[in-house]
Amino acid sequence: MTEQETIAVREFWKQACANIAGAPDTVPEAWAFGATPDHADGLLALVLDGTKTGTASSFWDYEWTGDPLPAVGEYSIILDARNRPRAVIEIVEVAVVPFSAVTEQHAHSEGEGDRTLASWREIHERYWRLHSENPRGFEADMPVVCEQFRLVYREPVD
């Protein structure tokens, strides 16, 4: 992120804190969904309209990068494709399960495709084959970090 983008994130967090009871002063991580600008904006739109309340990540990517796993109660600032802060989500549930054990309910919560488990599996297998941060990529029994979240703040609409 550029210095200007970082300043915009901090300012956005200040606005959000005024509307989120008990929000910490520390600015949470800011990130965009997906691997492409179109994907980022498409998934953000699903969050903003209330369709997307879940997400999934490769556990192996967390191991590879050394990033900590998400935890219940954490906030994230969601960026659009141009790195502009647009929303704040709060994690309400985290589970690590094998790819084959991801539930229909979780697949539906992610809001993608036709929201079925079959669609979820196809979309995520393709994503992890193409965009994994770790060299293992995708395997049918890979551990998946399934998160449920709630939208707690969004950019004010004029």
Confidence tier at 158 by pLDDT (50, 70, 90)? low
Which value, in Å, is the radius of gyration of the alpha carbons in the chain?
16
How does pLDDT run across 21-59, given as a tens digit for each residue? 999 999 999 999 999 999 999 999 999 999 999 999 999
How does pLDDT run across 94-135, given as a tens digit for each residue? 999 999 999 999 999 999 999 999 999 999 999 999 999 999
pLDDT of residue 134: 94
CATH code of the domain in which 64 resides: 3.10.400.10
The whole domain housing 80 covers 3-154
pLDDT of residue 136: 94
- Provide CB contacts within 8 A for 78, sequence distance 6+: 30, 31, 32, 33, 44, 47, 85, 86, 87, 88, 89
CA pair distance 8, 135, nearest whole angstrom = 34
- Cα angle 73, 78, 82; round to 5: 165
Give the number of domains in the chain. 1
